[in-house]
Structure formats: C-alpha cells, structure tokens
C-alpha cells in the first residue's frame, strides 16, 4: 500500500503556506528560498514538512492556475489573480 504524501492529505494547507511566504515578500522569492520557507511554515504549524518535490508541484499548480508567476528568477504572487478557493 502506497503511503499518502503531504499534498495528497491537505494540498490547500501547503498552498496557503506557499502563498503566505510569497505575500511576505512582494518582490518574490527565489525558488530555493521558497521551498525552504514553505517547509518552515508547515513545521511551525505542527504539520509534517513536505518533500521539496511536493512543494514544487504546488508552486507549479499556482503558476498554472494563474495565482503566481516567475519574474526575473523569482516566484511572485500575481496581484491581478482571482482569490484562491480553499476547500
């Protein structure tokens, strides 16, 4: 039996941690720093720290969904994006 990953258990929580990290720095964060910061936020909330690939997958989902963008080597939240829906 395959064990569930962190994002399979609660993808909206990880997405929220990523959005909070990006909101704290309007100029955006380099991807490596974003991976570290999102992991720190998950740990601070008492949740398991996701693998970097899981965080990267959620960042990709944010970009594909129009919530985030890459500008000058940094990941930034889009100010013109629609509000995220939390299930």
The pLDDT of residue 2: 44
Residue 45, domain member (yes or no): yes
What total of structural domains would you count in the chain? 1
Domain range holding 59? Answer: 10-77
pTM: 0.79
pLDDT digits (tens, 9 = 90+) for 48-70: 999 999 999 999 999 999 999 99
User: SS3 for 86?
Assistant: coil
Apex 85 CA angle, 82 and 86, nearest 5: 150
Residue 59, domain member (yes or no): yes
Q: Which residues of the chain have pLDDT under 70?
A: 1-10, 81-87
Residue 19, domain member (yes or no): yes
Residue 54, domain member (yes or no): yes
CATH of the domain at 42: 1.10.10.10
């Amino acid at each position: 039996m395959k064990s569930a990953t962190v994002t399979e258990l609660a993808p909206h929580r990880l997405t929220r941690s990523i959005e909070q990290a990006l909101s704290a720095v309007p100029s955006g964060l380099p991807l490596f720093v974003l991976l570290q910061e999102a992991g720190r936020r998950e740990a601070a909330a008492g949740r398991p720290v996701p693998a970097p690939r899981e965080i990267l997958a959620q960042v990709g989902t944010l970009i594909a969904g129009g919530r985030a963008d890459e500008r000058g080597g940094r990941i930034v939240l889009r100010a013109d994006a629609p509000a995220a829906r939390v299930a």
